[in-house]
Amino acid sequence: MDQALRDKAQSWLDSPIDADAKAEIESLLNNETELTEAFYKDLEFGTGGLRGIMGIGSNRMNKYTVGMATQGLANYLKKTFTDEEIKVAIAHDSRNNSRFFAETTAAVFSASGIKVYLFEDLRPTPELSFAIRTLGCHSGVVLTASHNPKEYNGYKAYWNDGAQLIPPHDKNVIDEVNAIDGIGSVNFEKNDTLIESIGSEIDAQYNEMIKGLSVNPEVIARQKDLKILFTPIHGTGMVSVPPALEAMGFTNVRVLESQSKPDGNFPTVVYPNPEEKEAMSMALKEAEAWDADLVMATDPDADRVGIGVKNHHGEWQLLNGNQTGSLLLYYMLQAWKDTGKLTGKQYVVKTIVTTDLIDTMAADFGVDCPNTLTGFKWIANIIREEEGKKEFIAGGEESYGYLVGDSVRDKDAVASCALISEMVAYAKDKGQSLFDLMMEMYQKYGFYLESLKSITKKGKTGAEEIAAMMEGFRSNPPAQLGGSPVVRFRDYQAGTEKDLITGEESALDYPKSNVLQFFTEDGTKISARPSGTEPKIKFYFSVNGDLPAADQFDTVQASLTSKIGQVVEDLQIA
C-alpha cells in the first residue's frame, strides 16, 4: 500500500476526531481500494463548490472536511473584511446529514466570531442567495449535493452578492483551507450568542419578490385555475414552490403525494434529478390521469426544474433543459416587448454549451446575449458587471437551471416554476398549449435540437481516463462530424479559437476552462467538458434546421436526431 496514503490516514487518526471516525479509518487500513478513494486527494471547490460521497476521509463529505472548509472560508472573510462585523447565512436541503453539516458550519463560523443566520429548517438554494443579499451578509453556505445520488452531499459557498465563489475568491479560500495545520486547527466550539435562527420573515420577502417578477398578472387572473401538478422529488421544493405559486395567484396546484415528503433517501427514484425521465415518471402518470396543463419537478435543493407537457399527439413528454430555457426566454422577451419594457438596455445570458437558439431570439428582439462558461456563477458575474448599466431579464443553462430577475444570483427553480406557470397560462389564454408555443418559436427561429451524452469514469483511474480523452481531442480534433467539415475549434483551456480552413488563431475572452468546442460548416456545435462536480465527461450536441410547418415536426426531429447519432458515431464515444 502507498506509504503516503497510509501517512495521510494516520495523520487523521492522530487528529482530535471522534472515536467513531477513528474506527472507520482503522477499518479502511485493510482495504487499499477504499482507503485510496477516501484519502487520495482533498475535496476541492469545483464548479459547484465542495461535493462528495459522505464518509470518513479527506476525499469525503464529513464533519471534518466541512469544518476545514468553513475554517478556511472564515479565515478568508476575516482577512478580507477587516473592519466590519462579518455576517453569513446558512441553508440546507433534505439530504441525509444536511442539517448536521449546516449546524457544524454554523458552529465553526460562530467560533471564529462571525455572525450566523441559520435557516430554521430546509430551504432552497436560491432563497439562501436571496437571504445573503437581503440581510447584507458577506458570505453564505448551502449544504446540498443538488441532484446527485443519495450517497452524496455538498457545500456551496457564496460571496456577498449572493453568487457562488469565482476567482480569486474560490482559490483564495482553498489556499486558506490548505494553510490549516490539520483538523486540530479547526474550532468547532460554537458561540450560541452569534447564531440567529431565520425563516418565515425571509420566506415572505422571497415570495413577494417572485410575485413582482410577473409580467402578465392579468393573464394569471383569467387562468388562475390552470391545472398545475408539482413534485419536489422528496426535496426542498415542497416548502417553497407551492407558496410561490399561491403568491402568483394560481389556485389549482396539486402536489404529487408520493413524492411530497422531504427524504434524503429519495425512496421513489433512482436519482432525484428532474433531468432523468425515471424521476418524473410518477408525476407524468398522475398528470395524465388528472389531465393537467403542466407538470413540474424540482431537484433536492430546488435550483433546477424539469417540466412535462402534452404534445401534438396528446401524449405527455418531458422537455429538455434547452427547450424549457428557450421557451422561458421566448416568453419573457415577447412579454417585455408587448408591455413596452424593452428599451435597448436589456440583456439575457446563457452559457457556451446552451442552445444558440437563445442568441438568435435575443438578436431579433434587439437584446444583448453574452455567453459565459458553464456554471451559474459566471452568469451571476455578468449580472454583477452590468449592474446599474443594463437591465437583466433572464438567463439560463441547458442543465435545467434558470433565473428571472436579479434579486437572486444563482439558478432559481422556485421563481422559474412561477414564471413557467405564467407562460403556460399565457399560451392557454391564446388558445395554445405550451407545445404549440414551442412550435411557434421553432417555426420563427429554427428548430434547434440538443442532446447530452455523459460518460462516467469513477475514481482516480477514471479521472485519468477522462484527462486522456480530452487530450486526444485537443491534439487531434476531428476533421468532420455528421457529414459536415469541422471549420472552427475552440480550446478554452488554451484560450484560443482556430479557423481550421485558414489555420488562423485568435484569443478567446473567457477565463481558462477545460472545455473543447467543435463547429461544423452546417451550424452543428459539439462541446466536450469534464464535470467539475461529478466523475463524468459530458458531450453536448446541438444541430438545427428549418421547421416550415408544425405538422412537419416529427419528420424534422427524426432527421436531426439521426444527425446527432452520426456525430456521436464519428466521435467514437458511442
β partners of residue 306: 297
What's the grid cell of residue 169? 475568491
438, with CB counted inside 10 A (0-12, 13-18, 19+), is buried
pLDDT tens-place string over residues 3-16: 889 899 999 999 99
Return all residues near 524 (Cβ < 8 A) that are at least 6 apart: 481, 482, 484, 541, 542, 543, 544, 563, 567
Measure CA of the first residue to CA of the last residue in the chain; give whole Å. 36
pLDDT band at 97 (very low <50, low <70, confident <90, very high): very high
Rounded Cα–Cα distance for residues 6 and 45 (Å): 24
Provide the pLDDT confidence category of residue 175 given band limits of 50, 70 and 90. Answer: confident
Predicted confidence band of residue 170 (pLDDT cuts 50, 70, 90): confident
Domains of the chain: 1-37 (no CATH), 41-198 (3.40.120.10), 205-445 (3.40.120.10), 448-571 (3.30.310)
Give the orientation angle of helix 19-28 with respect to helix 32-39, to 10 degrees: 130
Q: What span, in angstroms and rounded, lies between the C-alpha atoms of 419 and 226?
A: 13
Q: Between the CA of residue 551 and those of 315, 327, 452, 548, 554, what are the distances in Å?
A: 16, 19, 26, 9, 7
Average pLDDT, the chain: 95
pLDDT tier at 574, thresholds 50, 70, 90: low
Residue 90: phi, psi to the nearest 5?
Answer: -135, 135
Catalytic residue among 139, 146, 326, 513: 146
DSSP string, 100-147: HHHHHHHHHHHHTT-EEEEESS---HHHHHHHHHHTT-SEEEEE--TT
> Does 47 score more than 80 pLDDT?
no
Q: Is the peptide bond before 168 cis (omega within 30 degrees of 0)?
A: yes
512-531 residue pLDDT tens: 999 999 999 999 999 999 98
How, if at all, do strands 115-119 and 87-92 pair?
parallel
pLDDT value of position 305: 98
Please, are residues 243 and 203 in contact by the beta-carbon 8 Å criterion? yes
DSSP per position, 529-557: EE-SSSSEEEEEEEEEE---SGGGHHHHH
Q: Is 146 a catalytic residue?
A: yes
491: left (phi > 0), else alpha (psi -120 to 50), else beta? beta
The pLDDT value given to residue 535? 79
Q: What is the pTM of this model?
A: 0.94
